[in-house]
Chains A and B, each alone.
Chain A
Amino acid sequence: MFNIRQIPLAAWIGLLLTGLAVICALFAQWIAPHGNGEIVGDVWAPMSSAHWLGTDNLGRDLLSRMIYGARITIFIAGMATALSFSLGAILGFTAAVVGGLVDTLMSGVVDLLMAIPTLIFGLVILAVLPANNVTLILVMGILSSTRVYRLSRAVAADINAMDFVEAAKLRGEGLSWIIFREILPNAMSLLVAELGLRFIFSVLFLSALSYLGLGVQPPDADWGGMVMENKDGIVFGIPAALIPAAAIAGLGISVNLVVDWVLTRTTSFKGGRD
């Protein structure tokens, strides 16, 4: 299935950087030279052999913070994406297969949610609800599931009109067989592409929320939160805020490169072994 020599350079770069971020996230406590909240030196110390990326606004090792930040960023964005996909895809498929009143009602609610700008909506809800990671994941997941719902419904409506789905209905198959065994395998390649994009949007959304102080709460920090903590340093020519910002951009681009590659590999709709 995977032929290593067929992977293009761009995909290699994407895989490498994404892999690096994931490894940091998984093994943070073993990789990081210092603890997450440990104060080890001066405020905003420059890069040195002891502190490769320097220290932050409270004198914590920036490299260690970055590595722990990767864990929080990827965990929350990943969970939110997973939630938005299970929710959006299942509801979208159901709407397309069942149709009628169910479809009209669900699509109406989704349209209503989509009509409100996502960031403002997120800020309002997070300001009211208790600030913790679970709320964050729920809010982000539900808001981004509306986009997934729209896509899945459109894809499933196309597949639903094909004869093999009609054959399954004539056999008497239930809703779950039709959704998970007939439609889902044929919608997979599109959903995989959307999955990557949704993940990046989740990273960006989380960073924005944290920057505004409604995301991950101190002493923990994701990359967006770290940009906020160190933003005042920029005035004094201290680059500490730029490092997490670059990490966000880097992760976004590398995931995109991977998705592009996956998409060109799996767009064949002929089925079978690909």
Chain B
Amino acid sequence: MANGHAKPRHESDVLLEIRNLKVEATVYSPNEKPRDVTIVDGVSLALKRGKVLGLIGESGAGKSTIGLSAMGYGRGGVRITGGEVLLNGRDILQGGVKGLRKVRGSEVCYVAQSAAAAFNPAHRLMDQVVEAALLHGLGTRAEAEKRAIALFKKLRLPDAQKIGSRYPHQVSGGQLQRVMTAMALCSEPDLIVFDEPTTALDVTTQIDVLAAIKDAIRDTSVAALYITHDLAVVAQVSDEIMVLQDGKMVEHGETRQVIEAPRMDYTKALVSVRSIDHEEKNPAQEPLLSVRNITAAYGGDAVKVLQHVSVDIHPGQTLAVVGESGSGKSTLARVITGLLPPIAGSITFANRMLAPRLADRSRDDLRELQMIYQMADVAMNPRQTVGTIIGRPLEFYFGMRGKERDARVGELLDEIEMGKGFVHRYPAELSGGQKQRVCIARALAAKPKLIICDEVTSALDPLVADGILKLLLRLQKFEDVAYLFITHDLATVKAIADSIAVMYRGEVVRYGSKTQVLRPPFDAYTDLLLSSVPEMEVGWLESAIKGRRMESAGN
């Protein structure tokens, strides 16, 4: 290439232009001939210097694939088969492997979703941060390290001088994500691809990382592609938003326009997600489940994960338990189900005392208390059909056999809006949302009084999650079942809860009806939690950061 080593600077202020991008992959499914599928079809975009474009869509929409194509990369056998990717005015797809090597790490850098998996655990952070800059000959090691330390400061990492000498496992998840951003910025690229950089973080940490990334982008005037499935997040950092579905562009516009006046139906659905109206019910006379002064620990008495937890669940109502990772909310579920006997405290369920150990509980206790898991794929036996999965509780608790059981399985499949056609499917042949629905049907088959829902929507795309929440609310109405809803997502809580318990480090810090809990004045932690949930509103991030009273834990 003529303009070889020095970075080509062109007069035009369009940095990245993608024209008619087509990306394909070959699928090898069993019992079928390998066939090509189109992942991205005819997407075009242009990005000016210093601007941020948000790419948004559900899983499988092709947003990561488009982001990576800006580096000329196809992940896992994915091939870029058509179109042009113009970076600084030249098509990087034509430059061959050598040309790509020159571009990657110097002109375009990448920030991955899971920094914990992307860093090499055997090397110190600083060595990894300056590696790309040194490889491309952008200054001496001392210069690169100086720049890295300045970036650490800008990204508000603690102890910026020395943090580089730590190993990846010695910093928290939120810090690691910021170090990764520093790594991308260290070689002073023109463009950074952020691939869901805050998705794996706790909500209270996400806001810190988001603010740090936003400041860094502004101060270094780098351009960015910001990939996420969360419209509220992308609204905070980007200038423009492109909405994608099934590898095709749905809508492209300025952030404010997409958020406030979306043109397409699909975008409208994305924007209005979680605006479920749920009228709060008044607590009944007698609670269905009453947890009193539960203290629980793992590994003998060494680490207390729950301390003096007391909550009530009323018949046919929903208690939401919220908190960040490590707050003990899943442990509370394990104690209630009997998987982890508590060291102190008692649980009363439907006016009878529940035995602390699972093995000591009666079959009716087990039947009336069902559970739905976060990861629907591993919650179902991959070798059983949907019919067996839903039919087993009917057989086991009610002794139903043959036609009677099959008829009831069909009814349940109708209730979860799937239909009888799914009876002979295996879990591997269902989509994520369908899997979760089958798990719901399995729980319902037992005719329970209480269902524990452990983060049931957090692994799902927003629209699918919305469908699951609506289904759960509808089922609650005519089955009169109570839910214990464990989640870290406050938008979900607002949508379905009747009462809320906020947990922090194994203790319930705030508990009451939904209106009570969500009405100020707040305690410091609830305030942090509530103010950290991104809202679909331009400029929310700045006001939220300003109003905070407490630092997050950084997970």
Task: Give me the interface of A with B, judged by CB distance under 8 Å.
Answer: 3, 162-164, 166-167, 169-173, 181-182, 185-186, 268-274
The answer to whether A270 touches B366 (Cβ under 8 A) is no
Supply 17 further A-B pairs (C-beta < 8 A) apart from A171-B396, A185-B383, A186-B383.
A162-B378, A163-B373, A163-B378, A163-B379, A164-B380, A164-B381, A169-B358, A170-B337, A171-B392, A172-B367, A185-B384, A186-B382, A269-B382, A270-B382, A271-B383, A272-B426, A272-B427
Is B428 at the interface (CB under 8 A from chain A)?
Answer: yes
Checking B370, B428, B442 against A270 with a beta-carbon cut-off of 8 angstroms, the contacting residue is B428
In the complex, which residues of chain A have a beta carbon less than 8 angstroms from the beta carbon of B393? 171
> B371 in the interface, Cβ–Cβ < 8 Å?
yes
28 A-B contacts (beta carbon < 8 Å) = A163-B378, A163-B379, A164-B378, A164-B379, A164-B381, A167-B371, A167-B373, A167-B442, A170-B358, A170-B366, A170-B370, A170-B371, A171-B366, A171-B392, A172-B361, A172-B366, A181-B384, A185-B383, A185-B384, A186-B381, A186-B383, A268-B30, A270-B428, A271-B381, A271-B382, A272-B382, A272-B383, A273-B30
B: contact size bracket: 20 to 34
In the assembled complex, which residues on chain A have CB atoms less than 8 Å from the CB atom of B396? Answer: 171-173
Alpha-carbon gap, A268 to B28, bound state (A): 13
8 Å CB contacts to A: which residues of B368-393?
370-371, 373, 375, 378-384, 392-393
Assembled-state Cα–Cα distance A183/B424 (Å): 20
Q: In this complex, what residue of A is CB-closest to B425? A: A272
Q: Does B363 contact A (CB under 8 A)?
A: yes
Q: How far is the CA of A164 from the CA of B389 in the complex (A)?
A: 10
Known: A270-B428, A272-B427. A182 touches B381 (CB 8 A): yes
List of B residues within 8 angstroms of A185 by Cβ: 381, 383-384
Contacts of B426 in A (CB 8 A): 271-273
Shortest distance between the CB of A6 and any CB in chain B (Å): 10
* Contact present for B379 and A167 (CB under 8 Å): yes
Residue of A162, A166, A172, A269 touching B339 (CB-CB under 8 A): A166
The residue in chain A whose Cβ has the minimal distance to the Cβ of B376 is A163
Residue of B nearest to A272 (CB): B426
For the complex, what is the distance from the CA of A231 to the CA of B138, rounded to whole Å? 77
Which residue on chain A has the smallest CB distance to residue B426?
A272
Who on chain A is nearest to B362 by CB?
A172
Instruction: Choose among B358, B378, B383, B446 the residue with the greatest number of A CB atoms under 10 Å from its CB.
Output: B383
A183 smallest CB distance to B (angstroms): 9
Q: Chain B residues near A166 (CB, 8 Å)?
A: 339
B337: chain A residues at CB < 8 Å are 170
Distance, CA A182 to CA B382, complexed state (A): 9
Chain B neighbourhood of A164, CB < 8 A: 378-381
Q: Which residues of B contact A269 (CB under 8 A)?
A: 382
Cα distance, A226 to B382, chains bound together (Å): 48
- Residues of chain B within 8 A of A169, CB atoms compared: 339, 358
B380 surroundings in chain A (CB, below 8 A) = 164, 167
B429 at the interface (CB under 8 A from A): yes
Nearest 3 interchain pairs by C-beta: A271-B382, A272-B426, A185-B383
- B338 CB contacts on chain A under 8 angstroms: 170
B382 → chain A closest CB, angstroms: 2
Pair A170/B339 contact, Cβ less than 8 Å: yes
The minimal Cβ–Cβ distance linking A159 to chain B, given in whole angstroms, is 9
Shortest distance in angstroms between B491's beta carbon and chain A's nearest beta carbon? 25
CB distance from B372 to the nearest CB of A (A): 9
Point out the residues of chain A lying under 8 angstroms from B361, CB to CB. Answer: 172
Contacts of A173 in B (CB 8 A): 396
The minimal Cβ–Cβ distance linking A262 to chain B, given in whole angstroms, is 15
Nearest Cβ on chain B to A106's Cβ, whole angstroms: 20
Q: In B237-272, which residues have CB < 8 Å from any A CB? A: none
Are A272 and B366 also in contact (CB < 8 A) when A162-B378, A164-B378 are?
Answer: no
Q: B379 to chain A: which residues have CB within 8 Å?
A: 163-164, 167
Residues of B within 8 A of A162 (CB): 378
Report the minimal beta-carbon distance from B230 to chain A, rounded to whole angstroms.
26
The distance in angstroms between the C-alpha atoms of A182 and B446, with both chains bound, is: 19
User: When chains A and B are docked, how far (Å) is the Cα of A270 from the Cα of B428?
Assistant: 7
**Residue in chain B with minimal CB distance to A173:** B396
Docked Cα-Cα span, A70 to B466, in Å, equals 65
Q: Which residues of B contact A271 (CB under 8 A)?
A: 381-383, 426-428
Cβ contacts B338-358/A at 8 Å (1 or 0 each) = 110000000000000000001
Closest-by-CB residue of B relative to A185 is: B383
CB distance from A213 to the nearest CB of B (A): 46
Complex Cα distance, B367 from A167, in Å, reads 12
Least CB separation from A6: chain B residue: B31
Question: In the complex, which of the residues A172, A185, A270, A273 has the most CB atoms of chain B within 10 Å of its own CB atom?
Answer: A172
Measured between alpha carbons, how far is A173 from B388 in the docked complex, in Å? Answer: 14
Instruction: Give B389-441 interface residues, CB cut-off 8 Å to A.
Output: 392-393, 396, 426-429
**Residues of A with C-beta under 8 A to B373:** 163, 167
Contacts of A163 in B (CB 8 A): 373, 375, 378-379
Q: How far is the CA of A173 from the CA of B31 in the complex (A)?
A: 35
Contact with A along B151-195 (1 / 0, CB 8 A): 000000000000000000000000000000000000000000000
* Chain B residues, Cβ within 8 Å of A171: 366, 392-393, 396, 446
- Give Cα A4–Cα B371 distance, bound, in whole angstroms: 45
Hey, which chain B residues are within 8 Å of A273, CB to CB? 30, 426
Cα distance A273–B426 when bound, in Å? 8
- Which residue of chain B has its CB nearest to the CB of A270? B428
Most buried by A among B339, B378, B446: B378
* B residues 323-337 in Cβ contact with A at 8 Å: 337
A170 CB to nearest B CB, Å: 6
- Residues on B with C-beta less than 8 A from A268 are 30
Q: How far is the CB of A250 from chain B (nearest CB, A)?
A: 32
Determine how close the nearest CB of chain A comes to the CB of B424; give it in whole angstroms: 10
A164 to chain B, nearest CB (A): 5
Q: Please give me the residue from chain A that is nearest to B334 by CB atom.
A: A166
Q: How far is the CB of B190 from chain A (nearest CB, A)?
A: 41
Q: Which has the most chain A C-beta neighbours within 10 Å: B30, B337, B338, B370?
A: B30
Give Cα A271–Cα B338 distance, bound, in whole angstroms.
30
Say how far B316's CB is from chain A's closest CB, in angstroms: 22
The complex places the Cα of A271 from the Cα of B339 at a distance, in Å, of 27
Q: Which residues of A contact B384 (CB under 8 A)?
A: 181, 185
CA distance A184 to B399 in the complex (A): 24
Which residues, 520 to 548 on B, are CB-close (under 8 Å) to A?
none
Q: In the complex, how many angstroms separate the beta carbon of B72 from the nearest chain A beta carbon? A: 31
